[in-house]
């Protein structure tokens, strides 16, 4: 099996690469590339993302044909794709970080700044928080409800269809932290930095 | 509920772990990669490396340490010490650091924080503030605590938040290495001035000091070196203790 981590200048992806290699052992071939043909021919795709919504969308659009290739992969061919952090956020229609920016529009919704209740809560939301699993998502196999995952973000994904939400986390409000819509998965938290349980989530994705 | 983080810090010199008392009298005490792995297996919420390699020739040793650690530890890794420009940040991130902490350069070139937080995202930019009390204010020190800049630490903290820092690592120079506890007055002043998380550092001698850093200093995370490093307490003991005191931690 070939799994591609999309390298589109979205910031630091070393940790994503290391954790996927750890989870893959030698059974899965992990490729890190923005080569369109390699993405097309792979079995699964990981879309990481760090920095702002706008900078990630700009970087994605900066590679000719990448968005079309990803569309074909995830929407036309319905092959498994996992978005992490801003990689999840970009699945939405619109983001409001820096300026209003169009996302991939694969899961209807928007990405807005977390309401921190007049500075009662610090932003970014950084650290380990419990996830409330509300849907039996395939990537949560053998993951207990209330497990801790590592977060670092100031914006949250608000999907229109609440049925896509697979987990939430409690901060200044109830924040969507994982979604699943058919073959498309996304986590707001960083499985690659969430120790053994995070690696387990990555394994679950690789084993889909 | 978001948990308070416990962060063991390893001082690294020429690729080896050392810990100084008031930044001098260094003792060699082992391999940072193995030590980091012990910490992350023991439940550390994050690992911090402070590179105190003095000479430029040996600077590559930290890249090797970071690279090897990031292949073994899957919790956030923060690396600081000697970060002078955007290219240093880039190199550390490429080696597998998740956050880079910037001290002297942030004071000398505050615009570097604007540039790097735009380029890499605020989530990986930590500004380390070394502060020392002078009368009724605190002043920022640089160069590992050797130079007094006379810059007001509270104002500087605010400025760094405005420039895009994602977190502040606040070290009391008066307390560092003393084992008498954090300067919680300083921590509280800064944490109530800025709206980004602060990591308290400098002075931990027992587990109650960690409790105080969170309760009195309002720190989001507490950093300590020697109590963990010399085996006085394990990370797990620290977490159990905080839990017992009603502080939310990841267990």
Q: Over the stretch A101-122, which tens digit does the pLDDT of each residue have?
A: 999 999 999 999 999 999 999 9
- Are residues B75 and B44 in contact, defined by beta-carbon separation less than 8 angstroms? yes
Chain B positions touching A52 (Cβ under 8 A) are: 121
Judge: B2–A11 Cβ closer than 8 Å, yes or no: no
Q: State pLDDT tens for residues B172-221.
A: 999 998 999 999 999 999 999 999 999 999 999 999 999 999 999 999 99
User: Which three-class secondary structure state does DSSP give residue A66?
Assistant: helix
Identify the band that residue B24 occupies on the pLDDT scale cut at 50, 70 and 90. Answer: very low
Distance CA A208, CA B192 (A): 46
Tokens 């084992």 correspond to what residue? B179
Q: How far is B66 from chain A (nearest CA, A)?
A: 11
Of A81, A56, A86, give the one whose Cα is nearest residue A70: A81
Residue of B45, B130, B176, B183 marked catalytic: B130
Of B181, B158, B183, B182, give the one whose Cα is nearest residue B168: B158
The pLDDT, as a whole number, for residue B226 is: 87
3-state helix, strand, coil in chain B (%, to 5): 40, 30, 35
3-state helix, strand, coil in chain A (%, to 5): 30, 30, 40
Structure tokens at A12: 């630091």
What lies within 8 Å, CB to CB, of B110 at 6+ separation is B159, B160, B163
What is the residue-averaged pLDDT of chain A?
96
Burial class from Cβ neighbours inside 10 Å (0-12, 13-18, 19+) for residue B249 reads: buried
Q: Kindly provide the ipTM of the predicted complex, given to two decimals.
A: 0.94
Q: How far is A74 from chain B (nearest CA, A)?
A: 27
The pLDDT, as a whole number, for residue B232 is: 84
């Amino acid at each position: 099996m070939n799994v591609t981590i999309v390298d589109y200048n979205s910031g630091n992806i070393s940790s994503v690469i290391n954790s996927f290699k750890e989870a893959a052992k030698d059974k899965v071939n992990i490729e890190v590339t923005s080569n369109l043909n390699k993405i097309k021919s792979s079995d699964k795709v990981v879309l990481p993302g760090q920095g702002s919504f706008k900078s990630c969308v700009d970087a994605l659009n900066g590679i000719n044909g990448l968005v079309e290739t990803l569309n074909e992969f995830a929407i036309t061919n319905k092959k498994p794709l996992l978005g992490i952090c801003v990689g999840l956020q970009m699945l939405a229609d619109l983001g409001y970080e820096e300026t209003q920016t169009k996302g991939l529009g694969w899961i209807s919704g928007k990405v807005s700044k977390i309401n921190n209740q007049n500075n009662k809560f610090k932003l970014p939301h950084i650290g380990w928080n419990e996830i409330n699993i509300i849907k039996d998502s395939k990537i949560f196999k053998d993951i207990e409800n209330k497990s801790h995952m590592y977060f670092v973000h100031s914006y949250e994904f608000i999907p229109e269809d609440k049925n896509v939400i697979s987990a939430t986390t409690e901060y200044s409000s109830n924040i969507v932290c994982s979604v699943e819509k058919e073959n498309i998965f996304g986590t707001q938290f960083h499985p690659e930095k969430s120790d053994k349980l995070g690696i387990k989530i990555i394994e679950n994705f690789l084993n889909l | 509920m978001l948990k308070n983080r416990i962060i063991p810090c390893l001082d690294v010199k020429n690729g080896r772990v050392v810990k100084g008392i008031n930044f001098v009298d260094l003792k060699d005490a082992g391999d940072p990669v193995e030590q980091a792995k012990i910490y992350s297996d023991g439940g550390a919420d994050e690992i911090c490396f402070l590179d105190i390699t003095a000479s430029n020739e040996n600077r590559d040793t930290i890249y090797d340490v970071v690279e090897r650690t990031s292949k073994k530890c899957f919790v956030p890794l923060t690396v600081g010490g000697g970060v002078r420009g955007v290219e240093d940040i880039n190199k550390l991130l490429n080696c597998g650091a998740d956050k880079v902490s910037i001290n002297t350069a942030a004071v000398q070139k505050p615009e570097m924080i604007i540039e790097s937080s735009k380029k890499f995202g605020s989530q990986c930019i930590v500004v380390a503030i070394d502060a020392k009390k002078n009368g009724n204010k605190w002043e920022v020190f640089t160069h590992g605590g050797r130079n007094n800049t006379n810059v007001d630490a509270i104002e500087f903290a605010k400025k760094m938040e405005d420039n895009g820092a994602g977190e502040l690592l606040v070290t009391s120079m008066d307390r560092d290495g003393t084992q008498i506890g954090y300067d919680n007055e300083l921590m509280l002043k800064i944490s109530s001035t800025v709206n980004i998380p602060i990591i308290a550092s400098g002075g931990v001698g027992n587990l109650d000091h960690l409790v105080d850093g969170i309760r009195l200093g309002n720190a989001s995370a507490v950093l300590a070196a020697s109590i963990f490093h010399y085996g006085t307490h394990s990370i797990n003991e620290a977490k159990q203790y905080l839990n017992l005191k009603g502080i939310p931690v990841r267990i």
